[in-house]
Amino acid sequence: MRVQVAIIGSGPSGLLLGQLLHKAGISNIILELRSQEYVLGRIRAGVLEQGTVDMLDAAGVGQRMHTEGLVHDGTELCFGGRRHRIDFKQLTGKTVMVYGQTEVTHDLMDARAAAGLPTIYEALDVSLHDLDGKQPRVRYRKDGVEHEITCDFVAGCDGYHGVSRASIPADKLREFERVYPFGWLGVLSDTRPVSDELIYSNHERGFALCSMRSLTRSRYYIQCSLDDKVADWSDDAFWEELKRRLDDEAASTLVTGPSIEKSIAPLRSYVAEPMRYGRLFLAGDAAHIVPPTGAKGLNLAASDVQYLWQALAEHYGGSDAGIDHYSERALSRVWKAERFSWWMTSLLHNFPETGAFGRRIQEAELDYLVHSEAAMTSLAENYVGLPF
Ligand code: RFL
Ligand code: PHB
């Protein structure tokens, strides 16, 4: 089989890239290790920047998002027992869209199926060959049968644990990493969200976040120990701990209920440079990870895809400028989102090793932030998304 672009991974980056390439008349196939049900069962990000919303519209999959998604004009920061609002719209003129990654993935998969584009689920042992030559090949096994695809380019959209980045010779890649000494315990429940907007809470017992998926479905997180297991946390224990980390009003109005999903995610910052090796281009979590505190993971995947599909379209139009500058352009935005995500994480979590001094610095920074329009504007500008 021959296609122009072989895409590895059917997460948001692979699916969005496939759709935009198709719209540009560029043939592509997606190879996905897992089943479609497995991919749709993962509960991940919830906040879309305007730029991501615009891309989903351009890909022709924005309809349900505009009906069911919730537009948020701001967010709340909670510390010292009080909540303070950051008004994105007033400070930047922009808003964000609360619409789950699961729904985004669903909409993209539906559009891909409607357009009759090929996706091979449960493609095992994907391997990449001749990436530094003119015609790369991708091999995989499906239902016990070996297959080979020849292509012009490979898009590595297969996440942090994928095969794409691992196919780049170690001496061609530089890695940057910070692992945080805690994780997030997340709970999804069919309960009314505690507030109209997200609440990011700094508390001496640890960080907490109140988010949502709809007006009847909530997503809550608390900072937890890396030694904690999901089984250690009963629903009751989770709700009690969440309430302790919120202001009195939120704690007393919080509606609790049975969890429909509960998981622990470790927090890390990671970047691999460059995001290209020969005819392989990395996009999304395959190239970088951010801690979720800035809600940037999915949005960065989208901006990589924006640079990449344009670069590939330019290539077929006769210019290689886009593919030659892809890594540099993408990394420039990636590092700014890394910085913001690291800063939000540092500001809002409990770092026991920084002691009482670190705690006072956080308190001073939070107090400064909510009393300085310049500081609030900086947070808002990054949260709604830097231009791309
Ligand atoms: P994905 O979504 O990880 O998709 C990669 C796809 O590649 C497949 N794959 C392979 N396919 C073929 N062959 C192989 N060898 C393969 N190896 C892997 C995988 O099965 C998968 O389907 O990456 P993508 O598309 O770049 O999208 C990035 C986003 O998913 C990610 O940035 C965010 O979800 C990050 N993230 C969160 N971001 C937020 O903004 N807010 C959150 O609350 C949030 N929670 C999370 C998260 C990421 C998590 N991970 C990666 C474990 C929670 C978790 C648990
Ligand atoms: C979520 O709704 O899952 C979510 C929202 C904001 C974040 C992280 C996760 O910063």
Q: Which ligand is nearest to the CA of 159?
A: 1
The number of the ligand 1 atom at minimal distance from the alpha carbon of 297 is: 32
pLDDT for 144 beyond 90: yes
Neighbours of 369 (CB within 10 A): 18
CA of 379 to the centre of ligand 1 (A): 25
State the fold for domain 180-267+351-384.
D-Amino Acid Oxidase; Chain A, domain 2 (3.30.9)
Nearest of 120, 124, 133 to residue 280 by alpha carbon = 133
Q: How far is CA 180 from CA 346, 363, 369, in A?
A: 10, 20, 23
**Which residues have a Cβ under 8 Å from the Cβ of 121 and sit 6 or more positions away?**
10, 32, 34, 35, 36, 39
The dihedrals phi and psi of 260, each to the nearest 5 degrees, come to -105, -10
Pocket of ligand 1 (CB under 6 A): 8-14, 31-34, 39, 44-45, 101, 123, 126, 157-163, 265, 284-285, 292, 295-298, 301
| For the chain, domain boundaries | 5-72+95-176+268-344, 180-267+351-384
Structure-token match 């907490």, residue found = 208
Q: What distance in angstroms lies between residue 259's CA and the mean position of ligand 1's atoms?
A: 22
* Closest Cα to atom 2 of ligand 2: 46
Radius of gyration of the chain measured on its C-alpha atoms: 21
- pLDDT of res. 257: 98
Q: Which of 192, 298, 301 is nearest to 254 (CA)?
A: 192
CATH number of the structural domain 5-72+95-176+268-344 = 3.50.50.60
Q: Is 72 a catalytic residue?
A: yes
pLDDT at 43 over 90: no
Atom index in ligand 1 nearest the CA of residue 296 equals 40
* Ligand 2 centroid from CA 299, angstroms: 12
Which of 285, 289, 383 for a ligand 1 pocket mutation test, highest count of atoms within 8 Å of Cβ?
285
Q: Which of 58, 22, 54 is closest to 299 using CA atoms? A: 54
Check whether 36 has a pLDDT greater than 90: yes
- Distance in angstroms (rounded) separating the CA atoms of residues 5 and 78: 46
Residue 295 CA to ligand 2 center (angstroms) comes to 5
Residues with CB under 6 A from ligand 2: 45-47, 198, 211, 219, 292-293, 295
Catalytic residue check, 292:
yes
From residue 109, alpha-carbon distances to 14, 37, 112, 318 in Å are 10, 11, 5, 30
Q: Is the pLDDT of residue 302 over 90?
A: yes
Distances from the Cα of 20 to the Cαs of 86, 153, 156, 242, 300, in angstroms? 34, 15, 16, 41, 16
Has 383 been annotated as catalytic? yes
φ, ψ for residue 324, nearest 5 deg: -70, -30
Average of per-residue pLDDT across 193-204? 98
- Please tell me which residue in 22, 203, 288, 296 is annotated as part of the active site: 296
- Select from 47, 104, 213 the residue to mutate for testing ligand 2; criterion: most ligand atoms less than 8 Å from CB: 47
For residue 272, report the distance from its CA to the centre of ligand 2, in Å: 24
pLDDT at 352: 85
Give the ligand at the shortest distance from the Cα of 382: 2
Query: In the predicted model, what is the mean pLDDT of residues 187-194?
Result: 98
Alpha helical stretches, state H, the chain: 12-23, 36-41, 50-58, 63-68, 88-92, 101-114, 235-244, 248-253, 297-316, 321-348, 355-371, 373-384
pTM to 2 decimals? 0.97
Which of 200, 220, 221, 326 is labelled catalytic?
200
Which of 323, 276, 348, 324 lies closest to 132, judged by CA?
276
The residue with tokens 């379209």 is: 313
Taking residues 184-192, report their average pLDDT: 98
Same fold, 5-72+95-176+268-344 and 180-267+351-384: no
Q: Average of pLDDT values for 341-358? A: 95
Q: What is the pLDDT of residue 108?
A: 98
Residue whose CA lies nearest to ligand 2 atom number 6: 295
Tokens in use for 73? 């004009």
Q: Which residues pair with 86 in a beta bridge?
A: 75
pLDDT digits (tens, 9 = 90+) for 97-136: 999 999 999 999 999 999 999 999 999 999 999 999 999 9
pLDDT tens per residue, range 53-103? 999 999 999 999 999 999 999 999 999 999 999 999 999 999 999 999 999
Which ligand is nearest to the Cα of residue 219, counting in written order? 2
pLDDT tens readout for residues 241-299:
999 999 999 999 999 999 999 999 999 999 999 999 999 999 999 999 999 999 999 99
Tokens standing for 173?
């890649």
Q: What is the pLDDT at residue 334?
A: 98
Query: Does residue 171 register a pLDDT over 90?
Result: yes
pLDDT computed for residue 131 by the predictor: 98
Residue 22 CA to ligand 2 center (angstroms) comes to 30
